Structure 1
Amino acid sequence: MSDKKRESMSSVDVAWLRMDRPSNLMVICGVLAMDERIPMERLRSTVASRFLRYPRFRQRPVNAAGSYHWQRDEDFNLAHHVVRIELARGAGDAELEALVSELVGTALDPLHPLWQFHLVGNYKGGSAVILRIHHCYADGIALIQVLLSMTDADRKARRAGPVPAPPTNRGEAEDDPLAQLLAPLAGMLKVASTAGSTLIEKGTELWRDPSKAIVLVEQGGALAGEIAKLVLMSEDSATRFKGQPGVAKRVAWADPICSRRSPAHCARTWCFEARTWAT
């Protein structure tokens, strides 16, 4: 395989990939409900023109002798990644929840890029689209932006949704729109990667001005104290919510909640609004 068709994976992407377990797949799953029946040809065309404009989605992660990299799938076939599933006529939320539950517990094929769209027919007289994609491709916020860029900006489908704006810094992100979404995270990782050289510079600075060492010692002492607290913490109490996770998963959702009722609910439950929406 030519090196031009390979690209080293970042440590963050490798971490998500290696955290995969049969009982806890690192796969993000999203569901879109449509009032109308969506033709398979239209969905595949949309995926081809708006999703696959990000080159990363034509690549799969490969482990070669302990070195992880992205490799282009030479046998890429859109039909493998965009498939149809028909529910029984008259199916509703219960049937769709059961289908999503089955899919979130099913691993993606490692021989191909780790994502798949499922076009679900007969859902409340319309359609649903289920997207499964491995977390090593991007974080949830970035993928939401990718999905929004796939949607139509008007009812007549004359314009696509907004594509993320190019980053201010130039480089790899210039040719890879997905990298544009991850530019802020990449910046933080770059800062972390230079920590070693920074410490050397700090050592020289302390030699010239020893008084600055006092501040660093105080900061280090506070950090050591926090670490000690974590080490000495007792185990959590045993509850019915603890145990070994199984492979089978259960997905469910509720009807929309009026946002005007949220503050009152938070006041009654002594809970932050963000946590209210999450639960």
Structure 2
Amino acid sequence: MRTIIHCALGVKHHMDIDAIKSTIKNSFMVKHPRFCSLLVRDKNGFEHWRRTEIDIDRHIILVDETAATNGGDDVDKIVNDYIADLSSSSPLGCDKPLWEIHMMMKQKCAIFRIHHSLGDGISLMSMLLAICRKAEDPAAVPTLATGGRRDWSGGKGKDWRGALMGVLKMVLFNLVFCLNFVLRCLCVRDRKTVISGGDGVELWPRKVATARFWIEDMKVVKQAVANAVK
């Protein structure tokens, strides 16, 4: 698979490229086995990981400012167009570990390109937070606020009958999901539309769009969903 995760990270102040390189060199990320290993194939065609030395200059890429100004002064459009172009024209090479950070200095934006085999969204965000520090306390690692854990046993966690009922519900829901998935794979097919792709659709140009939401509106939706679940 050639699934690549793209993540754009914008900052308020101008970026110090030397400080960024130094931070990454001393971070946990480059010590992680997947982030310092090559994906290689043996004589039988089987893929495996092989440890290698990290050349940070090959992973930190400065974007040509003249090639990334098609959107004029619209930073969102410039970044989106650049990511869209990367997604279809520039695969990650296997001659180095499968990650890159593209630095757009003028737009004050860093674009992470990480192969999905190195991690999923949650694990990669956790690693990013582990590298960062709080502005008010440089020695403290940032934290994310999380909601309380929901009691799926309906308040009967201490009753063995409640726990057994929870397990039976889990098994039943999984069986229903698997049956629905199989039937959908066998019987349902996407209908053809004016935007349906044919052969070579993976080579078509990409377009990335940005949507903005007010955090207060997101809180209203979250509260409404929480009340509906209750």
Secondary structure of the residue aligned to 1:52 is helix
Write the deviation string for residues 64-102 of structure 1: whole angstroms up to 9, x where unpaired.
12322111124x311000121243595521111111211
Query: What do you get for the CA RMSD once the two structures are aligned?
Result: 3.4
2:99 corresponds to 1:98: no
Q: Is the 8 A contact 2:21 2:56 kept in 1?
A: yes
Q: 1:71 aligns with which of 36, 50, 64?
A: 50
* Structure 1 residue 162 displacement after superposition: 5.4
Write the deviation string for residues 219-248 of structure 1: whole angstroms up to 9, x where unpaired.
xx9899657734652433222343233323
Taking a change above 3 Å as real, the CA distance of residues 235 and 160 of structure 1, as seen in their structure-2 partners, is same
Distance in 2, matches of 1:160 and 1:223, equals: 42
Q: Is the 8 A contact 1:116 1:131 kept in 2?
A: yes
Gaps in structure 1 of 5+ consecutive residues: 1-18, 21-25, 164-220, 274-279
Question: 4+ runs of 1 displaced by more than 6 Å?
Answer: 221-225
Q: Is the 8 A contact 1:60 1:72 kept in 2?
A: yes
Secondary structure of the residue aligned to 2:19 is helix
Taking a change above 3 Å as real, the CA distance of residues 251 and 224 of structure 1, as seen in their structure-2 partners, is closer
Distance in 2, matches of 1:243 and 1:254, equals: 25
Equivalent residue for 1:84?
Answer: 62
Equivalent residue for 2:118?
Answer: 137
Give me the identity figure in percent: 23
Equivalent residue for 1:7?
Answer: none
Q: Is the 8 A contact 1:149 1:160 kept in 2?
A: no
> 5 Å matches for 1:77-226?
77-87=55-65, 88=69, 90=73, 92-105=75-88, 106-123=90-107, 127-155=108-136, 158-159=138-139, 161=141
Distance in 1, matches of 2:117 and 2:58, equals: 20
Equivalent residue for 2:20?
Answer: 43
Gaps in structure 2 of 5+ consecutive residues: 144-174
2:211 corresponds to 1:254: yes
Distance in 2, matches of 1:224 and 1:80, equals: 44
Secondary structure of the residue aligned to 2:31 is coil
Normalising by structure 2, report the TM-score.
0.67
> How many pairs does the alignment contain?
186
Distance in 1, matches of 2:194 and 2:219, equals: 28
Q: 2:9 aligns with which of 32, 43, 50?
A: 32
Q: Is the 8 A contact 1:91 1:122 kept in 2?
A: no
Normalising by structure 1, report the TM-score.
0.57
* Structure 1 residue 261 displacement after superposition: 5.8
Distance in 1, matches of 2:34 and 2:213, equals: 34
Secondary structure of the residue aligned to 2:84 is helix
Distance in 2, matches of 1:159 and 1:143, equals: 21
* Structure 1 residue 32 displacement after superposition: 0.6
* Structure 1 residue 252 displacement after superposition: 1.8
